Structure 1
Amino acid sequence: MLNKKQTLYYAILFIFPILFFVPLLMSDSIMTCGDGIGYEAQFEMIRIALGKGQFPQWNPFVANGTPFAADIQNKVFYPLVYLCLLFPRHLDYKVFYILHIILNAVFSFNLFKKLVKYEQIAFYGAIITSFSNLIILRQDHINILCTIVWIPLLAQLIIQLCETKARKYAACLGIAMALQFLAGFPQIAFYTDIILVLLYIYLSINKRVKPGVFLLNGLIITIFYIGIAAIQMLPLVELMIYSGRSNISYEYFANGASDFRYLLNLLNPVFWGEWGTLLYEGLEFPTDLYIGIIPLTLAVYSLIYCRGTREIRVLSWIAAAAFTLACACNNIPILGKILYKIPLLGSFRTLTRFLIFFSGPLLWMGVIGLKHIVENNAYRKIRKISMGILGIYIILCGTCFILSRYGLFSDPAWNEYFSAPKWFCKSLVVLIVAILLWTVFCQKSKGVLNAGGPLVLVLSILVISLWDTYFYNTDPAGDIFRQNEMLRYGNHESIFDTEETAYLTELPETEQYKYFVSYESWEDLAETSWSIRVNGNVFHRLSSIQSYITFNHPLLLQLCGADYGMMMSADSVMALTNPTFLQMLSTKYIIVNNQSGYAWNGTATVYEQYPLERDGNTADGIPVPADLDYSRTNTVHVHIHVESGEGLLSIMLGNEVLYSQKVVSGDNFVRYTIPADSKQTETLKLQLSGPDMDAAQISGIRIEENCDIGSSMLYREVFRNDRHTIIESLNAKPLIYSPQKVVCMDNCENFIVENKTAIDFAEISYIEEGTDLELTDTDTKIEITDIRPNSVSANVHAAAPTWINLSQSPYRGWSVYVDGVKQESIKVNGIIQGTPLEAGSHTVTFRFSSPTVFWGAVISAVAWIAALLYLIHANKSRFCFRRCQ
């Protein structure tokens, strides 16, 4: 039972985050941009599907149709999503965010009570971790937040399991691991699983757990974990098998790798060149490292004075291993390549996310250190450590003032790091205040633990720490995700009720056409997506031809010129040079962002991709495939990685240098638009020069061809304002349509790839099974009668045997019902599906129902029931035992 003090602490942990974010809750502001748009949009997709009486299994409007439930990042099987969907649309995502901060606070409080025994210190640990950069910055990549918050609970359960050997904790641990997996970010869940397995082995040996008990509890954990998570695991495994995602390149795997130099971010919240962004030229999550001055000094104290304790040893090992793995691809390439070959581990982008398991243990060590300080009246020791760190800051400040003037380092990253002395000065002030606080408590006796003194200490350092990490060390002019920044993206009314949305909402629902949205940057994506996506009547009709976090048939990636080696640079890929491809995909409208850096002037875009590796010969440059029509405007995008130093990248046409740009250590992105009057006969080349360029690698090249579709007879402009131009594709096919011809051939997919710019996708359907059909005289009439996320129905009448296509990916689970009778759905053109029909009038329904979701649901239901019965039985046995006593 909870006593009054514990009840008070839990109440504060619940209420404080809500009060803290009152400005956010009371505003109509959108709190996300970039990735956050997609996550917030998932709520709307689920809401729309449930409103139409279906569980959301399929997303028909992204790419060429993609499994919605199978994509774990959609969190369709995560229970807390449905709790938050009870709130209005402008609140659901915000409530979801705050709820997970509360969960982290409660779980952390319980864990620290177990580790440090004292509720005051556990309360400090709960607040300081919940409002750390590790947690609070995740509103834009909320799936990471959802996954992180379960880690304290998992740690507590595995400790209790090894201490008590009670099987009920094994069951609870399996349930909690499943919930963490369902939270939507499998990379963090997978890393957590690895650490938990190693921790379970270590603690079992340390606690002398018998082998039989060890194996039995491990089996219980595994059964309940896999059983409950099966509803997501089975469709996810199927998705990975069918998708190109499992074939990512090493370059993609290593993209954004951390660096040993990032340890300096423990002292300075300024990342190399930019602070606070989740993506900075591919380098992710550097701000996790800035845990605050006081938590850092407490962690250093623990490493010095508590290093002999089991808890500090374990946390130190985890932190050291995590940081090494995060930096492996960058600093230890051999280790990085070995890790890439490990199943599952090599399927995720960037090991940098291991930094979460570096910063988290440091925060936990700080909490344990605070307990040791209070118990042993060690305020002089912590003051001494603080003064030592203060000396380091004084040296850094002096270095800053000198180097910011003269830029003495050859590496620009170092000059960037030392270019902002104000950060070190701010940290100096925080440290001085902390030292004064430690000095005051130096006079306290060891026996004041329950006399109120430590509570004052805890509250004091808590206030200073929040001031440091949340308010003080922030740059209002920068891209920092703090509450004031969350409020800057505009409100729902100003973004939803736009002219563009009004135009698109008026389109007939049964047309069910899709949209192709072009954009340049994350900022453009944010504006474009919000102004078009989120309106409920429009959102579910959006098609963004892209390859990020979705299933794409590998053939679709080939036809679009995209791959997973340069995925972040290929979010909008499509060969508009063959307009029939978009017509086949029912892409009726092309929305162009008029505010981007390109001089598009109402043009649509094409991306072709040529990933290259630099060879040793730079004399002739690196040739780029020359089959480009320079009568159009082409833009070249180059992604180049330089190991160290700097040099010059030149874009050349023949022997003429069109453009040169300095490239420096790390990842560089170069963009240049080729003039439309360039000589057609010349070859485009890339030239690298400079003493440090031998170690440079061109990771990818993207050629964007700006087609002036406004002057084409196939398109017409139907809307324009300062923000966007909407262009209509006059010959776009509806979602269900009948082609003019069906051609059966062997290996038709190879034929399609080889002739992708020449064949007529819209009017000719290539199949590998069946017979050829001429359909010009069938007089096929199609009336779409019902459209839902998982199904499309139509009335079809034909004077002769005919064929109809559904412009959706032929993923396993699709069936077609003709007059209520199930029949075969056949792959068409490699990336859509269709079926033959006899002459006459028919009611046709294409329906998606994933068998892996069904069987996963059965297994999960059985596992949930078994887990609950097991826990009830365990608690009942314990209750009966107590009564007998």
Structure 2
Amino acid sequence: PDRFLSLSDIFFDVGDQGEIDTIYGDQLSPEAQYDYTIAIKQKEIIAPNLPLSFGLASVDGFDGGILPLNSYSQFVQLVLPPETQTTDGRLREHLTAVPPAPWLDLTNSRYIITDKVGDVWQEVGFSLTAFFDLEFPIELGPSDSFEIAYTPTFTATALAFVSEGEPGRVEVYTQAGDVWELAAFAAGSGVVRAGWPASATMRQIAEQAAPARLILHGPEQGVWQIHGATLINEADGTFQPLVLGNYRLIHSGDVKIYENLDVLPRAFLLPSWAWQPEQTAVLPAMQTPEFDVRETAVFLGSGEDHKGDFDPDATATIARYEPEQVVVQTSSSQPQALLLSDASYPGWKVMVDGKPAELLQADGLFRGVLLPAGEHEVVFQFAPQSYRLGLMITAVGLGLLALLGFALLLLLRLDARR
């Protein structure tokens, strides 16, 4: 299953707190009611180690293919605030914002769970107050453009922003096929608004007033810091919050759940790879501007760097996924690196088409293997030497115990004959 990242300090209020107080008010002490509410919040965000109970895969290091190893503590430095370290799997408690998208993509983080504590209700003009989702802020300079990844169907008359700095422009593609380029103007304290150039009659026609694509452009000078954006309809007083970034809101209640629209699968092929001789050099190599998580793997060890071309027809499909065995079917017209975003750990081995291959540590934490062109079956198997050694020691111990028992029995019989 795809992984999720939970991101909340559980300061939010439970929506049905009133009902809980009514039901348990005369049954539980205030302290017990408080503990019950905290437990509900932890269940909502599936933390700290509840993924184990529900059989879910988490990025927090509580199973799901990722272990709180030393390599994990080093890898999460990519997403933690400066001067912050974690020596276990409690990543959620150290995060202050959603991590950069490339690292979420690399870790197969399809879902993000967070709360609404940082979101706001804001007046947007025309006696209308709207809700703004502030989870994914963006910053646009003079030559920057940003397309909102998912635009829900909504009949709107304007697009409002909670922002700072000099506003830029909004490019609107409607479902009717019209294209508008609109300037954004201040509509109040911290609110900027871009209104549709539609007549009052036209606004009643859903197809013409509903945007299909929204592209935001930076100002001619300065920086436009956009914290949140919401489609509004002054005609009926409704609104539709938008999500900035390559995410889609799939649940909104006490908590919010986003789907990462750009996520990489658990196993995928890469046309290029590079080598680093030391563990401490891997993460710096991944933070260079030319590094792309979708094109290049960084292996620990020594070898020859390889630069390949992207193969759109290359595939990697997980045929079987079990705790101690993962089988991947691959196909490509050129050599590739297969990356499985599960923790690399002593005892894991890899077979390619039934023959042993070299298991590599990829991107500082994961398992990887180099593959020639063609179709292959790759089997990752957990078969530690310690297990076989333990079996041998157990067998020898049982043999000695049986021999000792036989010797004692023989001595007892000899004594009985005397």
Aligned length: 274
Q: Deviation per CA, 1:601-643, whole angstroms, max 9, x where unpaired?
A: 87769xxxxxxxxxxxxxxxxxxxxxxxxx99xxxxxxxxxxx
RMSD: 4.8
Matches within 5 A, 1:279-318: none
Partner Cα distance (1:846, 1:600) in 2? 43
Alignment-mate amino acid for residue 783 of structure 1: T
Partner Cα distance (1:713, 1:783) in 2? 27
2:258 paired with 1:727 = yes
SS at match of 2:342: coil
8 Å contact 1:748–1:829 — kept in the other structure? no
Corresponding residue number in structure 1 for 2:69? 551
Alignment-mate amino acid for residue 529 of structure 1: I
**Which blocks of at least 5 consecutive residues in structure 2 are unaligned?**
6-27, 121-132, 137-162, 165-189, 191-226, 230-241
SS at match of 1:731: coil
2:111 paired with 1:589 = yes
Cα 1:542–1:578, aligned 2, differ >3 Å: closer, same or farther?
closer
Paired residue for 1:826, among 337, 360, 367?
360
Q: Return the offset for 1:869.
A: 6.3
SS at match of 1:773: coil
Q: Deviation per CA, 1:79-107, whole angstroms, max 9, x where unpaired?
A: xxxxxxxxxxxxxxxxxxxxxxxxxxxxx
Corresponding residue number in structure 2 for 1:525? 42
Q: Return the offset for 1:60.
A: 11
Partner Cα distance (1:788, 1:580) in 2? 26
8 Å contact 1:739–1:765 — kept in the other structure? yes
Matches within 5 A, 1:371-382: none
Alignment-mate amino acid for residue 541 of structure 1: A
8 Å contact 2:3–2:109 — kept in the other structure? no
2:334 paired with 1:804 = no
8 Å contact 2:348–2:381 — kept in the other structure? yes
2:269 paired with 1:752 = no
Matches within 5 A, 1:463-474: none
8 Å contact 1:716–1:730 — kept in the other structure? yes
**Which blocks of at least 5 consecutive residues in structure 1 are unaligned?**
1-58, 64-474, 491-520, 606-630, 633-676, 678-706
Q: Deviation per CA, 1:472-517, whole angstroms, max 9, x where unpaired?
A: xxx955459xxxx9xx979xxxxxxxxxxxxxxxxxxxxxxxxxxx
SS at match of 1:794: strand
Q: Deviation per CA, 1:337-393, whole angstroms, max 9, x where unpaired?
A: xxxxxxxxxxxxxxxxxxxxxxxxxxxxxxxxxxxxxxxxxxxxxxxxxxxxxxxxx
Corresponding residue number in structure 2 for 1:715? 247
Corresponding residue number in structure 1 for 2:145? none
Partner Cα distance (2:89, 2:362) in 1? 29
Name the structure with the higher helix share.
1
Matches within 5 A, 1:666-685: none
Q: Return the offset for 1:534.
A: 6.4
Q: Return the offset for 1:584.
A: 0.9
Alignment-mate amino acid for residue 69 of structure 2: F
Cα 1:801–1:549, aligned 2, differ >3 Å: closer, same or farther?
closer
Matches within 5 A, 1:349-360: none
SS at match of 2:69: coil
Identity of aligned pairs, percent? 19
Partner Cα distance (2:395, 2:36) in 1? 41
Matches within 5 A, 1:439-458: none
Paired residue for 1:858, among 392, 403, 410?
392
Matches within 5 A, 1:139-218: none
Cα 1:770–1:855, aligned 2, differ >3 Å: closer, same or farther?
farther
Alignment-mate amino acid for residue 247 of structure 2: Y
Partner Cα distance (1:864, 1:572) in 2? 48
Paired residue for 1:580, among 102, 106, 121?
102
Cα 1:749–1:522, aligned 2, differ >3 Å: closer, same or farther?
farther
Matches within 5 A, 1:42-81: none
8 Å contact 2:276–2:282 — kept in the other structure? no
Partner Cα distance (1:568, 1:586) in 2? 16
8 Å contact 2:2–2:266 — kept in the other structure? no
Matches within 5 A, 1:491-506: none
Matches within 5 A, 1:40-439: none
Partner Cα distance (1:812, 1:843) in 2? 22
Alignment-mate amino acid for residue 847 of structure 1: Q
Cα 1:867–1:761, aligned 2, differ >3 Å: closer, same or farther?
farther
Q: Deviation per CA, 1:425-471, whole angstroms, max 9, x where unpaired?
A: xxxxxxxxxxxxxxxxxxxxxxxxxxxxxxxxxxxxxxxxxxxxxxx
Alignment-mate amino acid for residue 60 of structure 2: S
SS at match of 1:738: strand
SS at match of 1:733: coil
Q: Deviation per CA, 1:731-767, whole angstroms, max 9, x where unpaired?
A: 1111110135323455574252476485433432123
Q: Return the offset for 1:728.
A: 0.9
Q: Return the offset for 1:727.
A: 0.9
Alignment-mate amino acid for residue 55 of structure 2: F
Partner Cα distance (2:410, 2:32) in 1? 56
8 Å contact 1:60–1:789 — kept in the other structure? no
Partner Cα distance (1:749, 1:764) in 2? 18
Q: Deviation per CA, 1:764-809, whole angstroms, max 9, x where unpaired?
A: 2123423312231473122222111122222211122222211122
Q: Return the offset for 1:819.
A: 1.5
Q: Return the offset for 1:865.
A: 5.4
Cα 1:578–1:852, aligned 2, differ >3 Å: closer, same or farther?
same
Alignment-mate amino acid for residue 750 of structure 1: A
Partner Cα distance (2:266, 2:243) in 1? 26
Cα 1:872–1:784, aligned 2, differ >3 Å: closer, same or farther?
same
Partner Cα distance (2:92, 2:410) in 1? 56
Partner Cα distance (1:860, 1:557) in 2? 39
Partner Cα distance (1:878, 1:814) in 2? 48
Cα 1:61–1:715, aligned 2, differ >3 Å: closer, same or farther?
closer
Cα 1:580–1:478, aligned 2, differ >3 Å: closer, same or farther?
same
Partner Cα distance (1:820, 1:831) in 2? 25
Cα 1:841–1:790, aligned 2, differ >3 Å: closer, same or farther?
same
Alignment-mate amino acid for residue 837 of structure 1: L
Cα 1:532–1:555, aligned 2, differ >3 Å: closer, same or farther?
closer
Corresponding residue number in structure 2 for 1:541? 57
SS at match of 1:852: helix
Q: Return the offset for 1:815.
A: 2.3
Partner Cα distance (1:564, 1:852) in 2? 28
Partner Cα distance (2:276, 2:52) in 1? 42
SS at match of 1:808: strand
Normalised by the length of structure 1, the TM-score is 0.26
8 Å contact 2:2–2:108 — kept in the other structure? no
Q: Return the offset for 1:527.
A: 4.8
Corresponding residue number in structure 2 for 1:738? 269
Cα 1:797–1:750, aligned 2, differ >3 Å: closer, same or farther?
same
